[in-house]
Amino acid sequence: MTDPFKEAEATRKVLTAPEDASGRIDAWLATTLSGDYSRSRIKALIEEGATLVNGAVMTEPKQKVQPGDVIEVAMPVPRDPEPRGEDIPLEVLHEDEDLIVLVKPAGMVVHPAAGNWTGTLVNALIHHCGASLSGIGGVRRPGIVHRLDKETSGVMVVAKNDAAHRHLSDQFADHGRNGPLERAYQAVVWGRPRQLKGTVNAPLGRAGDRTRRAVKREDAEDAREAITHYAVTERYGETPDGASLASLVECHLETGRTHQIRVHMAHIGHPLIGDPDYGQAFRTKANRLPDEARLVVERFRRQALHAFLLQFEHPSTGETLRFEAPPPPDLERLIEALRLVRTAGSP
């Protein structure tokens, strides 16, 4: 039997029984450690030799606890559950023995994590692909070489074996500088950038929590290079000062940082419509739209971002593959509603 106290992932908890301690030790521990483990799990830990009483291993759950007993418990760190396949429909654009290209819908998380252990793209892929998925990237991220935010829709590629995973990962790490990799997004933003075409070169880092990002100084400890190329493709609603109420912008990524397009567009003063993290201050701009368009904008509760284009080199054949997907229905409705107030014409 292995020693639970020597396991690398065990947490040692030391307790001293108070003067009124009594009853079975498994029941006492279950009460004292309330919220950590159930009584049945405590009992199993005791039987596995994961409990010391006054320095001696104790494997009998029925043993009585005595006032003043020093009790040590080796508590294994909880492991994330392995994802299981779920019969979730997938919109597949291409599939072969090496990879699968699909359109991720808005609202779907890519891989399981706290608060989203089911209903993810990985759950759907495990059901669809079975044992063929690559294991590189961790148990919870089989085959995943890049990701999209939960509320961002668009084209993704997933590896189905280890060799394909390595090849695709190398392409994404290179950001297309030495190969055909290309990623392009459609974003509906507030206002219109002064320059109809431009590049945002602004390092990104954490913004106080695990997920939010902000533009950082280049010498900031967590600053990471982030470059977005953009071009205004449509303008909606001319304002008295000759600007526009909103714009459709095509963004091409030279790097792939968390929330990169969302933060960069907000940084230049044109956050995405519906963005709950970086565009809240612009919500009142909807009041300047005609009623029909205003209602559509107010009901659009996610960032208006769609990964419409993905190009890469096939890991086996070397062929350049290019895939495009039109905006999903909710984003198309938003664009059509804004086109009704379009008076500025094409850029």
Name the catalytic one among 149, 209, 241, 275.
149
Question: How many residues does this entry show for the chain?
Answer: 347
∠ at Cα 167 (262, 146), nearest 5°?
A: 20
At position 317, the amino acid (one-letter code) is T
CB 75 within 8 A of CB 36: yes
Annotation says 149 is catalytic: yes
What is d(CA 106, CA 289) in angstroms, rounded to the nearest whole number? 25
What is d(CA 264, CA 227) in angstroms, rounded to the nearest whole number? 9
List active site positions. 149
